[in-house]
């Protein structure tokens, strides 16, 4: 039995969500910080999080980087070091199974910058906020995967010696256009959008959910607690994604044809 709802509601919600996924020929998933928090990863973005007494919004901006790049790199190097200690969880792994079921008709859109979906084995991952495992040059097109290895306090480009920056989308920056277009297209084309671990209230999550509704896709939410989106979704499954997703995906695999 699930803590938030009666057993029959819970059962019914899971079955309904499984039937939506089973009936879809294309599926899109949108994940946020919640799924990684269950791996023990500290999450900051969009939660009013503080780092060393500073608002994260004041560390993760182009202005902060221009003012004090060493400080910004210290923040990201700490986050990279934290990442070396965490593993993908059962929720990440369930989404790998779901991708294997739908193959090319599956897109995983993530707001997370930790690379845990790929670490779990997901292949088609659209990182709309970038990745802290990659760095790029502030002056030339150089961009490279650096994993979670320790970087210098102030890393410089191997090609042109300019300052490197994390390949993430900071506050006040645009989303990467190509990745974002692919994410929108995936949602336009899907019959079922699964939203996991994000409050779904703010852009871009809210925009993708609205797009799914416009195109008559079913929307399933998996969150620890009800969100402002809960009223609008077709099914809301409240609980840890590491518990809910494996159970949901198991039912998709075994659900009888509609």
Cβ 193 vs Cβ 209: under 8 Å: yes
Cβ 86 vs Cβ 54: under 8 Å: no
- DSSP output for 130-173: EEEEEEEESSSS-EEE-TT----SS-B-TTT-PBEEEEEPPTTS
Least distance CB 151 / Zn ion (angstroms): 15
Tokens describing residue 223:
């969150």
Q: For Zn ion, what does the binding mask look like between residues 91 and 130, x meaning CB under 5 A? A: ----------------------------------------
Q: Which is nearer to Zn ion, 151 or 188 (CB)?
A: 151
Least distance CB 163 / Zn ion (angstroms): 9
- Report 134-153 residues binding Zn ion (CB under 5 A): 137, 139-140, 142
Q: Which is nearer to Zn ion, 69 or 246 (CB)?
A: 69
Active-site annotation holder among 4, 129, 156, 213: 129
Tokens describing residue 108:
């995983």
Sheet holding 106-110, edge to edge: 125-127, 106-110, 27-31, 192-196, 218-223, 235-238
Q: Which one, of 201, 202, 240, 203, lies nearest residue 222 by Cα?
A: 240
Least distance CB 138 / Zn ion (angstroms): 7
Q: For residue 129, indicate whether it is catalytic.
A: yes
How many CA atoms does the CB half-sphere of 148 hold within 13 Å? 15
Q: Which is nearer to Zn ion, 3 or 141 (CB)?
A: 141
Tokens describing residue 29:
């998933």
Q: Which is nearer to Zn ion, 140 or 201 (CB)?
A: 140
Least distance CB 153 / Zn ion (angstroms): 18
Cβ 1 vs Cβ 237: under 8 Å: no
Cβ 131 vs Cβ 139: under 8 Å: no
Q: Is 171 in the site for Zn ion (CB under 5 A)?
A: no
Both ends of the chain: CA-CA distance in Å? Answer: 26
Q: Which is nearer to Zn ion, 123 or 160 (CB)?
A: 160
Least distance CB 165 / Zn ion (angstroms): 11
Cβ 211 vs Cβ 221: under 8 Å: no
Least distance CB 152 / Zn ion (angstroms): 15
Q: Which is nearer to Zn ion, 163 or 188 (CB)?
A: 163
- Report 150-169 residues binding Zn ion (CB under 5 A): 157, 159-160, 162
226: number of Cβ within 10 Å: 12
Residue count, binding to Zn ion (CB under 5 A): 8
Residues taking part in catalysis: 129
- Give the binding site for Zn ion (CB under 5 A): 137, 139-140, 142, 157, 159-160, 162
């Amino acid at each position: 039995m699930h803590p938030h709802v009666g057993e029959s509601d819970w059962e019914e919600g899971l079955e309904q969500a499984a039937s939506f996924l089973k009936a879809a020929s294309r599926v899109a998933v949108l994940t946020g910080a919640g799924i990684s928090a269950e791996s023990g990863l500290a999450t900051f973005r969009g939660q009013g999080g503080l780092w060393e007494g500073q608002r994260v919004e004041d560390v993760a901006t182009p202005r902060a980087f221009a003012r004090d790049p060493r400080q910004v790199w210290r923040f990201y190097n700490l986050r990279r070091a934290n990442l070396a200690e965490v593993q993908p969880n059962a929720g990440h792994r369930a989404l790998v199974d779901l991708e294997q079921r739908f193959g090319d008709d599956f897109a995983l859109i993530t707001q997370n910058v930790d690379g845990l979906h790929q670490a779990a084995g997901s292949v088609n991952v659209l990182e709309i906020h970038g990745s802290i495992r990659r760095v790029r040059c502030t002056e030339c097109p150089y961009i490279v995967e650096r994993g979670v290895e320790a970087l210098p306090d102030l890393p410089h480009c191997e090609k042109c010696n300019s300052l490197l920056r994390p390949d993430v989308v900071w506050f006040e920056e645009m989303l990467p256009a190509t990745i974002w277009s692919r994410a929108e297209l995936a949602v336009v084309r899907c019959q079922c959008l699964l939203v996991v671990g994000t409050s779904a209230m703010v852009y871009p999550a809210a925009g993708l959910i609205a797009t799914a509704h416009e195109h008559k896709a079913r929307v399933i939410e998996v969150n620890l607690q009800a969100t402002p989106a809960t009223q609008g979704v077709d099914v809301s499954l409240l609980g840890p994604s590491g518990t809910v997703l494996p159970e949901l995906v198991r039912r998709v695999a075994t659900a009888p044809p509609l």
